C-alpha cells in the first residue's frame, strides 16, 4: 500500500451523483488553457486562409463529437445521445459562426481569437442568467469551444482523456465536460471528483449510466489533493478520503466485496425471467436509439426493445433518411432480437430534438409546441415514409408500432388512417408486411390518460412516458433546478393517472407499460408493479438491478403499497413507503 496512507486521513464531503466505491491514485487535471487567447493580426491576403482553418476546425470537431456520441451510445443504449445532439446544434449555430467570420474579416485577426471572443461572450451571458438550466448550458458552450480551439491549434487530442490516462486512477478536476465523461472507461477511471457540479448536470447523469462512482460539489478538492495521492471515493455517501486509514479501507473493503457479490448475482440472472417472489410475471425491456444497440439488449438480459427512439435516424443528418434506410435499420434490430418484441416509436422530433435539415421555427415553449405526432401529421410525406418502413420491417414478425405525444382521439384516428393508407400501398405493390402488427400509443399527456378508455378502443397497448406525463401534469420543467423539487413522480395525481391508464388498457384486454425514467428508478418499481403495469422498459445498464429487485419483491406487498398510494395525500409519504419496500425486498441494491 502506498506510503501516503500513513499520513493523516482527511475527509471531504460533497454531492453524491453516481454510486459505487473507488480507491487508487489521484490524477488532478488542470483547468482548460483557453481562459485567454491572444490576438494575432493577419494580412488581407491571409483572411481567406484563416476562414478555411476555422471551417476545417468545425468539421473536425463535428466528427469528434459524433464519434464520442457513437461510443457512448454503444455503452448506454443511446440514452444520452440528446446531450451531444444539443452540442452539435451549438457547434452549427449559424449566428455564432457568422459572427466569428465577420470578426476575422473586419479585424484581420486569427481564428482562435475570433472564436474564443464570440463563444466566451455567449457562454458568459448564459452563466449570468438566473435560470440554473441555462447556466448549465454555459458549460456545454465552453466544452464545445475548447474542442474547436484545440483543433485550431492542432491539439485535438487534448480534449481526449484517453491520452492522459496511463494507469487506473481517481480523476480530480475543477469540472468535467460531458464529452470528457463520455470517454471514461472502467479500466482506467475508478471514479471522479470535482469542485463544482450538481446531481442534474449532464456529466453526473452520464456517470450514473456508465456506472462510474462520482462525487461533485467538493468546492476546493483540486487544491486539497495532489496527483499521486492515494484516495478513496464513496459515490454513495458523497465522500472522498485522502490517505484513508487501515480501518477505513477495511470497512470499505467489506462494502466493495458486497458489491462484487451483487454483480455476480446479477450476471447469473441474465437469462432468467422477471418474476416476483410470489409468481407474478413482468416483461422487462430496454430503451435504445440505434439498430446496433440490439446487442446491449441481449447482454443486459432484457426481453426485447420497449422503446426504439427512431428520431435519431433523422437528427444531424445531411439528408432525410430514405424509406429504404429506415427499413434496413428497423429490420436489423427486429431480426437480431427475434422473437423478442421491438416497439418502434414514430418520430418524436421537436421539444429538445430537431433535425439539422429542417427549418424548425423558434417557439416560446417547444415542449408544448410543434412536436412528435403533431409534426408528423403535418409533414405527411416524412411520416408516410417512416410508416411504410416500419410496416415492411414488421415482416420479421416481432415489430410493434407506437405513436408519441397523443393528446386526444382525433390525432390517433388521423394517424391510423395514414397507416391504413400505407398498408394499402404495400398490398398494391405486393410488398409483404405483418397484417397483425400491434399499434399502440404513448401516454404522455394528462388528456391522454383521462381519455384512455376511448383511446384503448383504437390502440392495442399503452406505454406511459412518465417524464412528460409528470412535467405536463404538474406544470414543472424537469430540467429547471429552481423548481426541480416540484417534479414529483410520487405526486398523488401522477399515481392516479398511471392507475387510470393501466385500468383502461386492461379493461380493453390490452397491456400497459412504462418506458419513462420511473421505470428505471429502483425504489419506484414496486409502486409501478402494484399499480398493475405489465411491462417496464429502461436503459439497458439498469435492467439487471431492476430484474433482481422484481425477483426479490412480493406482488402482494406491491399491491398494498399501491393501495396506500392511491388514497394518500402526500408525495413524500408515498415516496418513503416506496423506498422502504424496495430496501426491505432487496437490501443489497441499497448500500
Tell me the pLDDT tens digit for each residue of 87-117: 888 888 888 999 999 999 999 999 999 999 9
Radius of gyration of the chain (CA): 25
User: Domain for residue 576, yes or no?
Assistant: yes
User: Domain for residue 268, yes or no?
Assistant: no
Computed over every residue of the chain, the mean pLDDT equals 87
CATH (domain of 578): 3.20.20.60
Residues 204 and 305 in one domain: no
The pLDDT of residue 184: 82
Domain that holds residue 321: 273-589
Least confident span in 179-193, 363-377, 436-450: 363-377
Query: Confidence class of residue 582 from pLDDT cuts 50, 70 and 90?
Result: very high
Q: State how far the Cα of 189 lies from the Cα of 143, in Å rounded to an integer.
A: 20
The pLDDT of residue 2: 47
The owner of cell 412480493 is: 554
User: Domain for residue 265, yes or no?
Assistant: no
CATH (domain of 221): 3.50.30.10
Please determine, for residue 244, whether its predicted confidence score (pLDDT) is greater than 90.
yes
**Which of 149-163, 377-391, 498-512 is modeled with the greatest confidence?**
498-512
The Cα diameter of the chain in Å comes to 80
The pLDDT of residue 403: 96
Give Cβ neighbours of residue 147 (< 8 Å, ≥ 6 apart).
61, 64, 65, 156, 159, 179
Residues 194 and 152 in one domain: no
Mean pLDDT of the region 350-356: 44
Residues 221 and 113 in one domain: no
Facing residues of 260 across strands? none
Least confident span in 116-130, 350-364, 574-588: 350-364
439-443 and 21-28 beta bridge pairing: unpaired
Please determine, for residue 354, whether its predicted confidence score (pLDDT) is greater than 60.
no
Last residue of a domain, one of 139, 159, 179: 159
Residues 208 and 143 in one domain: no
Residues 123 and 242 in one domain: no
The owner of cell 501516503 is: 4
Question: Of the candidates 430, 465, 337, 329, which has an alpha carbon nearest to the alpha carbon of residue 385?
Answer: 329
Q: State how far the Cα of 80 lies from the Cα of 289, in Å rounded to an integer.
A: 10
Query: Confidence class of residue 1 from pLDDT cuts 50, 70 and 90?
Result: very low
Q: Which residue has the higher pLDDT, 184 or 126?
A: 184
Residues 314 and 438 in one domain: yes
Residues 204 and 150 in one domain: no
Q: Which residue has the higher pLDDT, 339 or 318?
A: 339
User: Domain for residue 324, yes or no?
Assistant: yes
User: Domain for residue 71, yes or no?
Assistant: yes
Mean pLDDT of the region 342-355: 71
**Which of 65-69, 400-404, 484-488 is modeled with the greatest confidence?**
400-404
Mean pLDDT of the region 217-235: 93
Residues 94 and 210 in one domain: no
Mean pLDDT of the region 259-265: 82
User: Domain for residue 388, yes or no?
Assistant: yes
Least confident span in 28-32, 143-147, 252-256, 581-585: 28-32
Residues 227 and 355 in one domain: no
Give Cβ neighbours of residue 564 (< 8 Å, ≥ 6 apart).
574, 577
Q: State how far the Cα of 348 lies from the Cα of 151, in Å rounded to an integer.
A: 34
User: Domain for residue 253, yes or no?
Assistant: no
Last residue of a domain, one of 159, 183, 214: 159
Please determine, for residue 4, whether its predicted confidence score (pLDDT) is greater than 50.
no
Residues 359 and 415 in one domain: yes
Facing residues of 231 across strands? 24, 242
Q: State how far the Cα of 214 lies from the Cα of 203, in Å rounded to an integer.
A: 10
The pLDDT of residue 14: 92
Q: State how far the Cα of 296 lies from the Cα of 298, in Å rounded to an integer.
A: 5
Q: Is the dihedral of CA 268, 270, 273, 278 positive or negative?
A: positive
Residues 152 and 174 in one domain: no
Q: Tell me which of 87, 116, 202, 331 is the catalytic residue.
A: 202
The pLDDT of residue 253: 84
Give Cβ neighbours of residue 405 (< 8 Å, ≥ 6 apart).
348, 371, 372, 373, 374, 442, 444, 445, 468
| DSSP characters over 411-463 | HHHHHHHHHHHHHHHHHHTT----TT--EEEEE-SHHHHHTHHHHTTS-SEEE
Query: Confidence class of residue 356 from pLDDT cuts 50, 70 and 90?
Result: very low
Mean pLDDT of the region 59-84: 76
CATH (domain of 150): 1.10.274.10
Tell me the pLDDT tens digit for each residue of 291-338: 888 988 999 999 999 999 998 788 756 678 899 999 999 999 999 999
Structural domains of the chain, count: 3
The pLDDT of residue 370: 52
User: Domain for residue 256, yes or no?
Assistant: no
Q: Cis link prior to 339 (omega < 30° from 0)?
A: yes
| DSSP characters over 35-104 | S-----B--GGGHHHHHHHHHHHHHHHHHHHHHHHHHHHHHHTTTTHHHHHHHHHHHT-HHHHHHHHHHH
> Is 34 one of the annotated active-site residues of the chain?
no
Mean pLDDT of the region 33-50: 84
pTM of the model: 0.70
Last residue of a domain, one of 159, 192, 213: 159
> Is 169 one of the annotated active-site residues of the chain?
no
Residues 138 and 184 in one domain: no
Please determine, for residue 500, whether its predicted confidence score (pLDDT) is greater than 50.
yes
Query: Confidence class of residue 50 from pLDDT cuts 50, 70 and 90?
Result: very high
Amino acid at each position: 500500500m502506498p506510503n501516503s496512507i500513513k499520513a493523516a486521513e482527511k475527509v471531504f464531503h460533497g454531492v453524491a451523483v453516481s454510486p459505487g466505491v473507488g480507491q487508487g491514485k489521484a490524477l488532478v487535471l488542470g483547468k482548460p488553457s483557453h481562459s485567454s487567447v491572444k490576438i494575432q493580426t493577419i494580412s488581407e491576403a491571409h483572411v481567406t486562409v484563416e476562414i478555411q482553418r476555422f471551417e476545417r476546425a468545425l468539421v473536425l470537431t463535428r466528427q469528434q463529437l459524433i464519434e464520442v456520441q457513437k461510443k457512448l451510445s454503444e455503452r448506454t443504449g443511446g440514452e444520452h445521445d440528446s446531450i451531444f445532439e444539443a452540442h452539435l446544434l451549438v457547434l452549427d449555430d449559424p449566428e455564432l459562426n457568422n459572427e466569428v467570420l465577420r470578426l476575422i474579416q473586419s479585424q484581420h485577426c486569427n481564428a482562435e481569437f475570433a472564436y474564443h471572443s464570440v463563444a466566451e461572450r455567449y457562454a458568459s451571458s448564459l452563466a449570468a442568467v438566473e435560470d440554473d438550466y441555462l447556466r448549465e448550458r454555459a458549460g456545454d458552450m465552453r466544452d464545445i469551444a475548447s474542442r474547436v480551439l484545440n483543433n485550431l491549434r492542432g491539439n485535438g487530442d487534448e480534449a481526449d482523456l484517453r491520452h492522459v490516462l496511463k494507469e487506473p486512477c481517481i480523476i480530480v478536476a475543477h469540472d468535467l465536460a460531458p464529452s470528457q465523461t463520455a470517454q471514461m472507461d472502467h479500466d482506467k477511471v475508478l471514479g471522479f471528483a470535482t469542485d463544482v457540479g450538481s446531481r442534474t448536470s449532464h456529466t453526473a447523469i452520464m456517470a450514473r449510466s456508465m456506472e462510474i462512482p462520482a462525487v461533485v460539489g467538493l468546492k476546493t478538492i483540486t487544491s486539497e489533493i495532489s496527483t499521486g495521492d492515494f484516495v478513496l471515493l464513496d459515490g454513495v455517501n458523497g465522500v472522498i478520503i485522502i490517505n484513508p486509514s487501515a480501518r477505513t479501507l477495511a470497512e470499505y473493503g467489506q462494502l466493495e466485496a458486497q458489491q462484487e457479490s451483487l454483480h455476480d448475482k446479477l450476471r447469473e440472472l441474465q437469462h432468467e425471467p422477471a418474476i416476483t417472489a410470489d409468481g407474478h410475471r413482468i416483461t422487462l425491456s430496454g430503451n435504445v436509439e440505434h439498430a446496433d444497440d440490439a446487442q446491449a439488449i441481449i447482454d443486459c438480459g432484457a426481453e426485447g426493445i420497449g422503446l426504439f427512439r427512431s428520431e435519431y435516424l433523422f437528427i444531424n443528418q445531411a439528408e432525410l433518411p430514405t424509406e429504404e434506410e429506415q427499413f434496413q435499420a428497423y429490420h436489423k434490430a427486429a431480426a437480431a432480437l427475434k422473437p423478442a418484441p421491438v416497439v418502434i416509436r414514430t418520430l418524436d422530433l421537436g421539444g429538445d430534438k430537431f433535425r439539422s435539415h429542417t427549418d424548425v421555427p423558434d417557439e416560446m415553449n417547444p415542449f408544448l409546441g410543434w412536436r412528435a405526432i403533431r409534426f408528423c401529421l403535418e409533414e405527411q410525406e416524412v411520416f408516410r415514409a417512416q410508416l411504410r418502413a416500419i410496416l415492411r420491417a414488421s415482416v420479421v414478425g416481432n415489430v410493434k408500432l407506437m405513436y408519441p405525444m397523443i393528446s386526444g382521439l382525433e390525432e390517433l384516428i388521423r394517424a391510423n388512417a395514414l397507416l391504413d393508407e400505407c398498408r394499402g400501398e404495400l398490398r398494391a405493390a405486393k410488398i409483404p408486411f405483418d397484417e397483425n402488427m400491434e399499434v399502440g400509443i404513448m401516454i404522455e399527456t394528462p388528456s391522454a390518460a383521462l381519455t384512455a378508455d376511448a383511446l384503448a378502443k383504437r390502440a392495442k397497448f399503452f406505454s406511459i412516458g412518465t417524464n412528460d406525463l409528470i412535467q405536463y401534469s404538474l406544470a414543472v420543467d424537469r430540467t429547471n433546478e429552481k423548481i426541480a423539487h416540484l417534479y414529483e413522480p410520487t405526486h398523488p395525481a401522477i399515481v392516479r393517472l398511471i392507475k387510470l391508464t393501466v385500468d383502461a388498457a386492461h379493461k380493453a384486454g390490452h397491456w400497459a407499460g412504462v418506458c419513462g425514467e420511473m421505470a428505471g428508478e429502483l425504489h419506484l418499481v414496486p409502486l409501478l408493479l402494484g399499480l398493475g403495469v405489465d411491462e417496464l422498459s429502461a436503459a439497458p445498464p439498469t435492467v439487471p438491478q431492476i430484474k433482481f429487485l422484481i425477483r426479490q419483491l412480493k406482488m402482494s406487498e406491491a399491491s398494498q403499497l399501491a393501495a396506500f398510494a392511491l388514497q394518500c395525500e402526500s408525495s413524500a409519504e408515498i415516496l418513503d413507503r416506496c423506498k422502504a419496500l424496495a430496501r426491505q425486498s432487496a437490501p443489497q441494491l441499497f448500500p
